[in-house]
A and B are shown apart, each in its own frame.
Chain A
Amino acid sequence: MKKYIWPSIKLTLFMVLVLAVLYPALIAAVSKTAPGQGKGKTVTVNNKVVGYENVGQNFTEDKYFNGRPSAVNYNAAGSGGSNKGLSNPDYQKAVQERIDTFLVHNPGIKKEDIPAELVTASGSGLDPDLSPAAALIQVKRIAAVRRLSETRLMALVSDHIKRPLLGVAGPAKVNVLKLNIALDALK
């Protein structure tokens, strides 16, 4: 063992220099040319940063498209899911409450039509997206609160749908923050 310790220590020091100093410095330097300069892509309204494109925000008010339930209340100082299993009675109660709350806020929507993602917490607690169906089901409520026509809102949602990758891989999605910014801009 003893004869390997010195080479090991020297090799460790050298590798720390390469892997923990030079490598991240190189990536940080290259990322300066990336969108967001490697600090994360921000979204601005009237020159004011209102959020990060990829980080979901809490939208609870009826006049906005609401995002998914979050186990960390959308505070991106942390992240995480509920980690509840489906057999857990507490979990079943929480889902039932979310269904009831949704029905109260969305009169005219039948219970069976609620998309599952609106009553289940995301993995990160910061999910920035909704599926098109989960956005469209909120149109009726928002149209009533904002006194806008449902067809205009549906067109707005359609404009914000991001198709699957290359049109073939993965689900379609809508970025909730961008959708709500566009919603505020509607006259």
Chain B
Amino acid sequence: MNSEILGVILTFIITLVIAFPLGKYISKVFQGERVITDFLNPVERFIYRICGIDPHKEMNWKQHMAALLSINFVWLIYAFFVLLFQSHLPLNPDGNPDMTPDLAFNTAISFLVNCNLQHYSGESGVTYFSQLFVIMFLQFVSAATGVAAVAVLFRAFAEKTTEKLGNFFVFFTKTITRILLPLSIIMAIILAFNGTPASFDGKDSIVTLQGDSVQVSRGPAAGMIAIKHLGTNGGGWYGANSAHPLENPNYFTNMVEIIAQVIIPMALIFAFGFFIRRRKLGYVIFGVMTVGMLTLMIPTLISETAGNPVLGHMGLKDISAMEGKEVRFGVAASAYWQVMTTIISTGSINSMHDSSMPISGAMQLLGMMTNCFYGGKGVGLLNYFIFLIIAVFISGLMVGRTPEFMGRKVEAREMKIAAIIALFHPFLVLVGTAISAYFAAHHPQMAWSVQPSSWFNNPSNHGFSEMLYEYTSSSANNGSGFEGLADNNIFWNITTGIVMILGRFIPIIGPVAIAGILAKKKYIPESAGTLQTDTATFGIMTYAVIMIIAALAFFPALTLGPIAEYFQSY
């Protein structure tokens, strides 16, 4: 076995080894049990006091959502105005300009919703102030928002019948003080010692060995690169994201970054099992998600390591798919990253997805279309919960039993919510793609600043994939892109902005509402007639539901994009 494949296997094993104990720790943090970070108790009490928060006041699911939306609204307004006037604010050594209103709209939403779609380039589109006070700040708080939302789900199923589901501000604060900030500090220091800049110095000008004058962008990047992965955000300091040699200097940092983005989503699954005292359910969910991950990972690894057929047609013997990839990571670690970053909604990249092989492109899209294999910070488990409820309902119908989950009857109201949420993601993606494809096909010469005919970096089916990818990434709150698309203009900034904000809050409110409604219901003790949800059979059922909903809804679009390209190229 070669060192590249061994590298990715090792990476996955280390991820698991860290995620499991981390899951135990997260469960204890939300239970309020004793943990090693308890020295932070006075700090948290101080925060609650000065912010006027009563940590003992428990909320029902509606109050949770009201608090969540209120604080997100504050951040949106704050972020939008900072970006709009960034050139007038301090910390701008490179003299970068203000954002246009449509770009500020897109960027503020993008980071607020943990998506991190970037229609600007880090080196020239933002100031150090915006990077730290808007972008990095939102990377922390949007991740904590997701975790606080999933903590409601934990509470809903931990007790028999309850309306009291904890306090949003407490979940939020503890996620930052106990999980995200300590891990970020450790990771940022690791990065800084491997060559990632962390000082506030601006661009450097140098004369190269060969005598060219070039500039090198720098800045306090290490801290942001840590949270961009730990928070499954993905927005890079530099334009090339984690393909940039300062953002991701070597194979070791590459392992650190790809491990960092997966550990918390994975840990949350274990934490769920521990928290509700049903470890087996946690393991079954983890198993289904891992099988889902492998369903996408194996074809990607095969198609990327098999190489680029076009190079073979030109007569080369070495046909490694190195377009858009870096030598220090190699093909296998790039393929591994492509899948992980799309299934867990990080959207950071260490290779250019636009230049990956057609089958890999299809797998990246499928990763975002299913959007629940491990999934983003908190929201991955919430998305999975929707599919789980649908699987409960369908299984119930198949065997002729009342659908029940964790001792609560699943009835019409919950099912309606689940069905709407499950269909909402395909709706946003396909309607968006259809509208953009309509303009590209029928109005290519529209008198816009960027005409639809100039949107694409690649013609034909691949151009269609660029549009499909952009909306899939927006709706899944992923943030990666087929970056060839000319996306910094009013059409793309506004439409993807709307898709991102809907694709964030509706799929958070829906599952939390279902959990809240179920938690209030009368608890029915398990009997011989109860549908078992922590078995392998039910796991397979859930997997099938995910694949049928995602594959059937999106298959026609995939056929027009990467699948057609595959048949043309091989």
A interface residues, Cβ below 8 angstroms from B: 1, 4-12, 14-16, 18-21, 23-24, 26-28, 30-32, 34-41, 45, 49-61, 64, 68, 74-89, 91-92, 95-96, 99, 111-117, 119-131, 133-134, 164-165, 167-173, 177, 180-181, 184
Contacts and interface: CB of A to CB of B under 8 A. Distances in A.
Interface in B302-321: 307-311, 314-321
Interface of B: 3-4, 6-7, 10-11, 47, 50-53, 66-67, 69-71, 73-75, 78, 121, 123-124, 132-133, 136-137, 140-141, 169, 172-173, 176, 181, 184-185, 188-189, 192-193, 195, 197-201, 203-204, 206-210, 212, 214-218, 220, 222-224, 238-240, 243-246, 249-252, 254-255, 307-311, 314-330, 333-334, 349-352, 354-355, 357-358, 457-462, 465, 482-484, 565, 568-569
Contacts of B308: 86, 116, 120
Contact of B193 (A6, A34, A133): A34
Contacts of A112: 315-317
A56 B458 CA distance: 27
B74 A12 contact: yes
Contact of A84 (B70, B318, B327, B354): B354
Given A11-B71, A57-B208, A86 B199 contact: no
A76 B208 CA distance: 12
A127 B310 CA distance: 22
9 contacts: A39-B199, A80-B352, A87-B358, A87-B461, A88-B462, A111-B315, A117-B327, A124-B326, A127-B245
Contacts of A165: 7, 250-252, 255
Contacts of A130: 327
A55 B246 contact: yes
A115 B243 CA distance: 20
A121 B324 contact: yes
B73 to A, nearest CB: 8
Contacts of B181: 18-19, 23
A123 B3 contact: no
B209 A51 contact: yes
B67 A180 contact: no
B197 A40 contact: yes
Contacts of B316: 99, 111-112, 114, 116, 119
B238 A27 contact: no
A86 B192 contact: no
Contacts of B459: 88-89
B74 A8 contact: yes
Given A19-B176, A170-B251, 12 more contacts: A8-B70, A21-B132, A23-B223, A27-B220, A30-B198, A31-B222, A40-B197, A41-B195, A60-B210, A87-B569, A120-B308, A124-B240
Contacts of B136: 19-20, 24
B350 A123 contact: yes
Contacts of B220: 24, 27-28
Contacts of A170: 3-4, 7, 251, 254, 328-330, 333
Closest 7 CB pairs of A and B: A123-B243, A83-B484, A169-B7, A31-B198, A170-B251, A79-B240, A81-B352
Nearest to B129: A20
B565 A87 contact: yes
B215 A83 contact: no
